[in-house]
């Protein structure tokens, strides 16, 4: 799939940007702070209904405006779809596909598929578990859109259950009876979410191992994924093993129920839900140790990159290419990792790249250039010889430029 057209209004720094796009690589270049990342953030929003930089929507709306709009013409399976998202912080977003409003914004999820790699992805390796859970769930939904409903129902039930737990200590009897109703919802939805995550980790793991070997080169430690859970049955964090049978959703729901019963008193005392997928974590293993707390800066970058390349490979293997978005990453990578990334990016149906300095981007990816400056995004005429077809980059120096 690819975007043929992107328009944003009152989004971040943009009053209006209107951009015709083509398949293949496109590089958005411009000085720092001109709005390059803002444009690809808008593309990411179409895929996840969220931003890779902030967790709330308010910063996405231009100062002084109350609403931002992202509109795109998507080419998918020989068809063209017009996707429009109105971002209304504090109120419900509105989404239309081919001008028909969707009943719920989340029905959009899965239509536009992107894999975005950005400096923020270092948090996948070094950040809190919440970062990795969000990563897993976004990929899950991109792969299996039906799960968007399960995820949001789970979040809603969790909130309500937590609210009830807060009052349970005071109210006693009645509250505990109501709690059991919420336990049922929580464990049923939690079992489905857990089963889907475990399947995803098992499916993604071999791609991560391969991608890391490609990125980090010979002699590097082996990368692997694991899943750690508050429910013993759902995972103890050890590297995923393709021969290990995965528990079913109903088995996981039962295990959740048992665990909740065990921790009931503690939950009531503390007033929060202590068991469930919202407490779990994706574990990134590098050689004998978890990457978090052990991996070097370069290894952490390689791991983050490998995870994103693995997502791309997984989605590609299961359908058409997702749109690859590379935000400001080439300047951070050395020559070897640049070429590993360039190889995948060069083969993707569409790659959107941002860079402050065009020279940071491997020659083979400098197809179409968009100049971003002074509130305008302008497609530049094609370079005489963008070095099409070749992935090797003679100009590579491994130098690191300031972002």
Ligand X SMILES: Nc1ncnc2c1ncn2[C@@H]1O[C@H](COP(=O)(O)OP(=O)(O)OP(=O)(O)O)[C@@H](O)[C@H]1O
Report the interface residues with Mg ion, using CB under 5 A: 37, 328
Choosing from 328, 332, 360, 393, the residue that interacts with ligand X (CB under 6 A) is 328
Q: Determine, following the binding rule CB under 6 A, whether residue 375 of this chain makes contact with ligand X.
A: no
214 part of the interface to ligand X, by CB under 6 A: no
Q: Which stretch binds ligand X (CB under 6 A): 57-65, 90-98, 246-254, 298-306?
A: 57-65
- Of 354, 363, 368, 370, the residue at the interface with ligand X (CB under 6 A) is 354
Q: Select from 59-67, 225-233, 308-316, 394-402 the region that touches ligand X (CB under 6 A).
A: 59-67
Which range binds ligand X by CB under 6 A, 26-34, 84-92, 236-244, 293-301? Answer: 26-34
Contact of residue 167 among ligand X, Mg ion, none (CB under 5-8 Å per partner type):
none
Tell me if 353 sits within 8 A of 372, measured CB to CB: no
Residue 192 vs 351, nearer CB to ligand X: 351
- Residue of 15, 33, 146, 250 that binds ligand X (CB under 6 A): 33
Least Cβ distance, residue 334 to ligand X (angstroms): 20
**What does the block give as tokens for 248?**
């079913």
Of the residues 9, 35, 362, 386, which one makes contact with ligand X according to CB under 6 A: 35
Q: Choose one: 25-33, 70-78, 142-150, 208-216; the region binding ligand X (CB under 6 A).
A: 25-33
For ligand X, give the closer residue by CB, 64 or 219: 64
Q: Is 273 in the site for ligand X (CB under 6 A)?
A: no
Residue 197, interface with ligand X (CB under 6 A)?
no
> Is residue 63 a contact point for ligand X (CB under 6 A)?
yes
CA angle (246, 249, 251) in 5-degree steps:
80
From Mg ion, ligand X, none, which one binds at residue 368 (CB under 5 to 8 Å depending on kind)? none
The least distance separating ligand X from the CB of residue 149, rounded to whole angstroms, comes to 30
């Amino acid at each position: 799939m690819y975007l043929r057209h992107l328009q944003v209004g009152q989004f971040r720094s943009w009053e209006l940007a209107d951009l015709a796009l083509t398949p293949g690589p496109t590089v958005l270049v411009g000085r720092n702070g001109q709005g390059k990342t803002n444009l690809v953030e808008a593309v990411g929003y179409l895929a996840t209904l969220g931003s890779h930089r902030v967790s709330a929507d308010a910063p996405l709306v231009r100062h002084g405006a109350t609403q931002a709009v992202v509109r795109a013409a998507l080419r998918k399976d020989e068809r063209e779809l017009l996707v429009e998202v109105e971002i209304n912080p504090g109120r419900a977003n509105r989404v239309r596909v081919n001008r028909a409003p969707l009943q719920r914004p989340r029905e959009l999820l899965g239509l536009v598929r992107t894999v975005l790699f950005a400096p923020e992805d270092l948090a996948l390796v070094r950040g809190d578990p919440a970062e990795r859970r969000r990563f897993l769930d976004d990929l899950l939904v991109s792969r299996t859109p039906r799960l968007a409903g399960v995820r949001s129902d789970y979040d809603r039930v969790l909130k309500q259950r937590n609210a009830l737990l807060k009052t349970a200590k005071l109210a006693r009897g009645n509250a505990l009876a109501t709690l059991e109703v919420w336990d049922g919802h929580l464990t049923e939805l939690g079992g489905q979410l857990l089963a889907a995550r475990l399947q995803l980790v098992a499916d993604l793991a071999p791609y991560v191992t391969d991608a890391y070997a490609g990125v980090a080169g010979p002699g590097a430690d082996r990368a692997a994924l694991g899943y750690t859970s508050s429910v013993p049955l759902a995972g103890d964090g050890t590297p995923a093993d393709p021969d290990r049978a995965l528990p079913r959703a109903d088995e996981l729901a039962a295990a959740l129920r048992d665990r909740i019963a065990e921790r009931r008193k503690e939950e009531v005392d503390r007033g929060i839900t202590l068991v469930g997928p919202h407490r779990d974590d994706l574990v990134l293993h590098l050689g004998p140790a978890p990457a978090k707390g052990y991996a070097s800066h370069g290894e952490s970058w390689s791991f983050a990159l490998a995870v994103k390349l693995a997502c791309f490979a997984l989605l590609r293997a299961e359908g058409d290419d997702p749109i690859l978005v590379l935000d400001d990453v080439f300047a951070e990578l050395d020559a070897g990792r640049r070429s590993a990334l360039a190889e995948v990016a060069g083969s993707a149906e569409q790659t959107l790249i941002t860079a402050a300095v065009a020279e940071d981007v491997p020659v083979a990816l400098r197809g179409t250039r968009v100049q971003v400056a002074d509130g305008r995004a302008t497609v530049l005429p094609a370079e005489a010889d963008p070095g099409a077809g070749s992935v090797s980059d003679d100009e590579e120096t491994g130098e690191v430029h300031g972002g």
